[in-house]
Amino acid sequence: MRRHEAVKAITDCFKEAYIIGCNGLIGRELYSVEDSPRNFYVLGSMGLPTAIGLGLALAKPDRKIVVITGDGNQLMSLGALTTVGRTSPKNFIEIILDNECYETTGGQETSSPTAKFHKLAKNSGFRHAMYVHSLDRLAIVLHRSVKAEGPILIHAKIEKGEPNPPRAQIDPYKMRNVFMKALGTR
């Protein structure tokens, strides 16, 4: 499964959700697949997408919040998974796209080949946590996740070494205002 396919499967499935995209190639992929007022791009702050999604999910329990992050990004903030488990928002879904490397910075290896994110999430209090390594399986678990109660974590293995989407010109302040208007909080 390619990064582009995985991100498209997520946006196709969660039409009404609010999506937090992590820094680096995954956020750029999200932008290139579908730039929506319901997308929030974390331009820096590696390791924080889980926390941002959690705060939003707790503050807006009536909206579905989807976090898309990478293996290197999540490895920076494994503790945040325990905070999600502890607070247990039903509207929180996170998908880790795991290519076993820091692809944005040139493909240096991460520790993810031996890291079972889905088990960590399950053992930290997530309601559901799944591991998938094909696009078909990802599409199935995503569709189940639309109606299921969270918190949900999907650990998805993806391929590395693809053409990289271009870096988007995003004004952070304007973008967050557009996002908040879509949420109805500004």
Partner 1 sequence: MNSREFCLLLKDSGFDFFSGVPCSLLGSIIQHLTYDKNFQYVPATREDEALGIAVGAYMGGKKPVVLMQNSGLGNSIDALTSLVLLYRFPVLLIISWRGFEENDFIEHSLMGKYMQAFLNTMKIPTIIISPSDLPKQIAEADQVMRKSETSVALVLRKGVVE
Positions that interact with partner 1 (CB under 8 A): 20, 40, 42-60, 77, 79-80, 82-83, 86-87, 172-173, 175-176, 179-180, 183, 185
**Between 49-59 and 78-87, two packed helices, what is the crossing angle to 10 degrees?**
10
Q: Round to whole Å and give the CA distance between 52 and 57.
A: 9
Instruction: Supply the minimum distance, in Å, between the C-beta of residue 124 and partner 1.
Output: 11
DSSP category for residue 168:
P
**Rounded-to-integer distance, Cα 64 and Cα 73, Å:** 22
Q: At what angle do helices 3-13 and 25-33 cross, to 10 degrees?
A: 50
- Least CB distance to partner 1 at residue 3 (A): 23
| CA angle 19–21–27, rounded 5-degree value | 135
| Residue 122 Cβ vs partner 1, minimum distance, rounded to whole Å | 18
Bridge partners, 172 (sequence order):
none
Q: How far is the CB of 179 from partner 1 (least distance, A)?
A: 7
Pairing relationship of beta strands 108-109 and 101-102 according to DSSP bridges: antiparallel
Residue 7 or residue 51: which is nearer to partner 1 going by CB?
51
Residue 14 or 179 having the CB closest to partner 1: 179
The residue among 36, 138, 39, 148 whose CA lies nearest residue 93 is 148
Q: Which is nearer to partner 1, 127 or 176 (CB)?
A: 176
Q: Is the Cβ of residue 56 or residue 138 nearer to partner 1 in the bound state?
A: 56
Closest CB to partner 1 among residues 59, 146: 59
Note the Cα 22 to chain centre separation in Å: 7
Nearest approach, Cβ of 165 to partner 1 (angstroms)?
20
